[in-house]
Amino acid sequence: MLGGHYSVSYMAKKVDPTIKLWHLFLAAQWLDLVWSPLILLDIEKADTKHPLPASPIHLTYMPYSHGLVAALLWSVFALFAYRLTTRQSYASGALVATTVFSHWVLDLIVHNHDLPLLGNRFKVGFGVYHSIFWSFAIEATLLLIGLVLYMRSSWPVGSFGSRYGMPLVIAALLLFNANSIWGPSPPNEKFVAVFNLVYYIGFAVIIARVERGRIPYKRGAFPHERVTDANM
Ligand SMILES: [Zn+2]
């Protein structure tokens, strides 16, 4: 799963508007942000010779980034790293940790028996990647839910960028998803690792810029009573 992971970032932002959305964007893709350097260092393994209909990459060995135990440990790491670096509450940290772990849960739905439960053994994955239609439909639906949640719970404070920045981001994410299914095959797994790093960091930077143009509503408040906490 690619852009669909960000739907959890939008949900977490709705629950706790004090967390920056770009932090939640990095959290939702943290396991893949770990995966890329491990692939470049040949510690984890993948290839592009045996793609699935809706995924250009075949994941063969990734216990440190996508094992169940690793995902839980990375989530705990995220809780403390977030709390230490931002001084936000443990509740906010727990939400960031949950966003990190959500990556594994959503991957479980689409991946094909490549997520190890223990070490590199007992691999699971429900294999939605075998269906192009369902793979795209699920991710597009998740992204659109995220967009609606965000647009309904924040208010624009500028002109074009603050009103249309987020819909444009979602449109770009959908295009990247379409490209990963219908676009040209990547030459090798290291290309995918670098591409993904640029994608994840690039969208976090863009989101940091876009969210500066919007401020969250107070729960149940009218637009003119919007939250103005400088933290947001
Ligand atoms: Zn992943």
- Ligand 1 centre to CA of 150 (Å) is 23
- Ligand 1 centre to CA of 85 (Å) is 24
Tell me the percentage of the chain whose pLDDT exceeds 90: 81
**Whether pLDDT at 80 is above 80:** yes
The three-class DSSP label of residue 20 is: coil
| 137: enclosing H helix or E strand | helix 132-152
- Ligand 1 centre to CA of 109 (Å) is 11
Residues, beta carbon < 5 Å, ion ligand 1: 32, 107
- Ligand 1 centre to CA of 17 (Å) is 25
- Ligand 1 centre to CA of 49 (Å) is 19
- Ligand 1 centre to CA of 153 (Å) is 28
- Ligand 1 centre to CA of 31 (Å) is 6
- Ligand 1 centre to CA of 116 (Å) is 12
- Ligand 1 centre to CA of 216 (Å) is 29
- Ligand 1 centre to CA of 159 (Å) is 35
- Ligand 1 centre to CA of 15 (Å) is 24
pLDDT value of position 144: 97
Token readout for 56 is 């250009």
The CA-atom distances, in angstroms, between 200 and each of 53, 95, 96, 151, 178 are 23, 20, 16, 22, 16
Q: Is 119 left (phi over 0), alpha (psi -120 to 50) or beta?
A: left
Torsion sign, CA atoms 54, 200, 107, 146: negative
Residue reference for tokens 């063969």: 60
Task: Check residue 219 and report its DSSP letter.
Answer: T
- The mean pLDDT of the chain is 91
Read off the pLDDT of residues 172-198 as tens digits, 9 standing for 90 and up.
999 999 999 999 999 999 999 999 999
Q: Facing residues of 121 across strands?
A: 118
pLDDT value of position 160: 83
- Ligand 1 centre to CA of 156 (Å) is 32
Token readout for 16 is 């706790």
pLDDT value of position 219: 55
Assess contact for 97 and 79: CB atoms under 8 A: yes
Q: Which of 79, 103, 112, 98 is nearest to 31 (CA)?
A: 103
pLDDT value of position 216: 82
Q: Which of 229, 192, 210 is nearest to 40 (CA)?
A: 192
